[in-house]
Structure 1
Amino acid sequence: PCRQVAPILDEIAGAHGDKITFFKMNVDENPVTPSSYRVTGIPTINVYQGGEVVKSIVGAKPKAALLNELADYLA
């Protein structure tokens, strides 16, 4: 699922890079970090504002669904 979402996130970042930045982490290579951010499923997209998580999107979703979920942060 993460590999399915990665190119979609790259497209969104390319179109909206002035408003949003994506950081990707391999949970197999970094098993401690996800648990400290309460990641319970993958892929997980956490949206941060002011250093706080303001939205979490869990699971592989098509581009249209991700754009809809992120619309408030891309405006």
Structure 2
Amino acid sequence: MSKLPFQNLINGDIPVLVDFTATWCGPCKAFMPILQQFKDEMKDKVRIVKIDIDKNEAFANEMGIRGVPTVHLYQKGELKWSASGVQSLETLKNQVEAISS
């Protein structure tokens, strides 16, 4: 993934949650059902994008990803929130609601 298509992806009014992940990552697998529930509950209030750090190593390095899972929340092209490790459904929802209000 290059910087320009990514910039286009995160530029909208709808918040975009980017999940930096890896297939070998146990915590990433544990995070998947939480992300699915988040997607189901938030519907069109947020977009979720998964980026495999092994398939996009240069991009992950450019973004400063040092561990997985790491999530970044963007709106209108700006990074609004970032966290490493498995996040709770409540935390994800609170972060989106905080920038959407």
> Higher strand fraction: Structure 1 or Structure 2?
2
Smaller-chain TM-score range?
0.7 to 0.9
- The number of residues matched between the two structures is 75
| The structure with more radius of gyration | 2
% identical equivalent positions: 28
Greater than 6 Å deviation, 4+ residue runs: none
Q: Which residue of 2 aligns with 1:7?
A: 33
Q: Cα gap change, 1:10/1:73 in structure 2, threshold over 3 Å: closer, same or farther?
A: farther
| Aligned-partner Cα distance in 2 for 1:74–1:22 | 15
Q: Which residue of 2 aligns with 1:48?
A: 74
Q: Which residue of 1 aligns with 2:16?
A: none
Q: TM-score, with normalisation over the residues of structure 1?
A: 0.79
Letter in 2 for 1:57: A
Q: Which residue of 2 aligns with 1:22?
A: 48
Verify the 8 A CA contact 1:46 1:56 in the aligned structure 2. yes
| Aligned-partner Cα distance in 1 for 2:85–2:98 | 19
Deviation, structure 1 residue 68: 3.9
Any gaps of 5 or more consecutive residues in structure 2? 1-26
Any gaps of 5 or more consecutive residues in structure 1? none
| Aligned-partner Cα distance in 2 for 1:39–1:53 | 14
Q: TM-score, with normalisation over the residues of structure 2?
A: 0.62
